[in-house]
Amino acid sequence: MSQSEILFERARGSIPGGVNSPVRAFKAVGGTPRFIAAADGAWITDADGQRYVDYIGSWGPMILGHQYPAVVEAVRQQALVGFSYGAPTEAEIEMAELLCARVPHLEMVRMCSSGTEATMSALRLARGATGRSRILKFEGCYHGHGDALLVKAGSGLLTFGVPTSPGVPAALAELTLTATFNELDTVEALFSRYPDDIAAVIVEPVAGNMNCVPPAPGFLQGLRALCDRYGALLIFDEVMTGFRVHPRSAAGLYGVRPDLITLGKIIGGGLPVGAFGGRREVMEQLAPLGPVYQAGTLSGNPLAMAAGLALLRALADETIYQRLEARTAQLLAGLRAAAAEAGVPFTTTQVGSMFGLYFSAGPIRGYADVAACDLAAFNRFFHAMLDRGVYLAPSAYEAGFVSAAHGEAEIEHTLKAARESFSLLRG
């Protein structure tokens, strides 16, 4: 037995399913999840000493690779003066000022400890600020596991075929309306049915939890116009896209103004972090200034602020984003060529250094196109790549991520594995 098999067996004795977040369990693709012992740059090493080129990057945060020296040093320095104080620190101001300076339309920001907390809090704030109770989300978009948002959700829920979780009271689920990503008329239909009831539209500006679906031209602008017409707030959930798709996040890339933005992943440098922010008059509704309550023992945690600030400061060099985009395009062109050579129908999508792989002739415009892909082919490809030292997301409903540590050698290693894996699929 491998160490990962031994550890998985042991983990299942005391952790539900052996994992602390469902997609890690390899349930969709089958087999044994790799237990990770270490990571460095673009590579992760499992408990058996096998090394893999990592295209998950902790599901997004590791944009400059694992163990980025400035981040490691910042965390080390902070650890020497304390882990958590439960009182304000200057680093929290620096984080808030940096986020507001870099992300357009962010005037004030509140830190929390996860993306889930960020979206839950943003929704409560939107409901409190508008006095309305319904929210509108998109099928296949995932915004964390807050009750109101676990309706027709993406990520692990799509992977396991339970898009609406038991345990969410019907009375609450009823207040969550779902529309079709990239189809504005489905949004307009809901607004005309509930013109005075919708507090907010929440959207992943690039849908990264049903693989990687870019917004159709005009879609985000159309959401802005509908929210203005009906008096609802527009929330961009940028937990994944924030500082990933563009130095000024998706709001900067697409030039659309949201009222609230949620952030996570990259802004914590790999430590547990979330944040939500936006228009000053909306944010001033929050306690202690206003009546909408939100709090957290570890909010603005000093170690997380140190890691996040060090990473964000390194990302001030915007040429990194051009290199990331070019590297990702090189990877995807190589994968498409390998698939074509093997005669396997295959499509890719890309926004910056986020990408999607599809066993389908395409095009990919939304959830229905993703759901129509050949899942069995993906699962075989996933395992063939894993056996050859390439670690892709263990689900056909997750985006992939390239880091600045992925160089020529890593791409070459990946494409060699891909040529062999695609030819296995054909055979």
Query: Which residues would be at the binding site for ligand PMP (CB under 6 A)?
Result: 59, 114-116, 119, 142-144, 204, 208-209, 237, 239-240, 264, 274
Q: Shortest distance, CB of residue 324 to ligand PMP, whole angstroms?
A: 18
| Pairing, β 233-237 against β 198-203 | parallel
Q: Which is nearer to ligand PMP, 142 or 397 (CB)?
A: 142
Asked whether the beta carbons of 217 and 405 are under 8 A apart, the reply is no
Annotated active-site residue in 46, 137, 265, 397: 265
Q: Shortest distance, CB of residue 121 to ligand PMP, whole angstroms?
A: 12
Q: Which is nearer to ligand PMP, 59 or 230 (CB)?
A: 59
Q: Shortest distance, CB of residue 289 to ligand PMP, whole angstroms?
A: 25
Tell me the residue type at 81: V
Q: Which is nearer to ligand PMP, 269 or 421 (CB)?
A: 269
Q: Which of 397, 378, 398 is nearest to 386 (CA)?
A: 378
Q: Which of 173, 167, 232 is nearest to 197 (CA)?
A: 232
Q: What's the CA gap between 192 and 53, in Å, rounded?
A: 48
Q: What's the CA gap between 137 and 74, in Å, rounded?
A: 37
> Could you confirm whether 197 is annotated as catalytic?
no
Rg (C-alpha) for the chain, rounded Å, is 21
Is residue 111 classed as helix, strand or coil in its secondary structure? strand
Q: Shortest distance, CB of residue 369 to ligand PMP, whole angstroms?
A: 19
Task: Give the single-character DSSP code of 420.
Answer: H
Tell me the residue type at 405: A
Annotated active-site residue in 55, 142, 367, 397: 142
Annotated active-site residue in 237, 254, 358, 367: 237
| 249 phi-psi bin (left φ>0, alpha ψ -120 to 50, beta other) | left
Q: Which is nearer to ligand PMP, 24 or 102 (CB)?
A: 24
Q: Which is nearer to ligand PMP, 54 or 237 (CB)?
A: 237
Q: Which of 323, 300, 236, 304 is nearest to 266 (CA)?
A: 304
CA distances from 149 to 125, 156, 194 (A): 15, 13, 19
Residue 264 — φ and ψ, nearest 5°? -175, -155
Q: Which is nearer to ligand PMP, 119 or 421 (CB)?
A: 119
Q: What's the CA gap between 366 and 181, in Å, rounded?
A: 6
Q: Shortest distance, CB of residue 260 to ligand PMP, whole angstroms?
A: 13
Q: Which is nearer to ligand PMP, 119 or 403 (CB)?
A: 119
Q: What's the CA gap between 214 and 355, in Å, rounded?
A: 10
> Could you confirm whether 27 is annotated as catalytic?
no
Asked whether the beta carbons of 349 and 207 are under 8 A apart, the reply is no
Q: Shortest distance, CB of residue 348 to ligand PMP, whole angstroms?
A: 20
Q: Which residue is nearest to ligand PMP (CB)?
A: 115
> Could you confirm whether 265 is annotated as catalytic?
yes
Tell me the residue type at 116: T
Q: Shortest distance, CB of residue 390 to ligand PMP, whole angstroms?
A: 21
Active site residues: 142, 237, 265
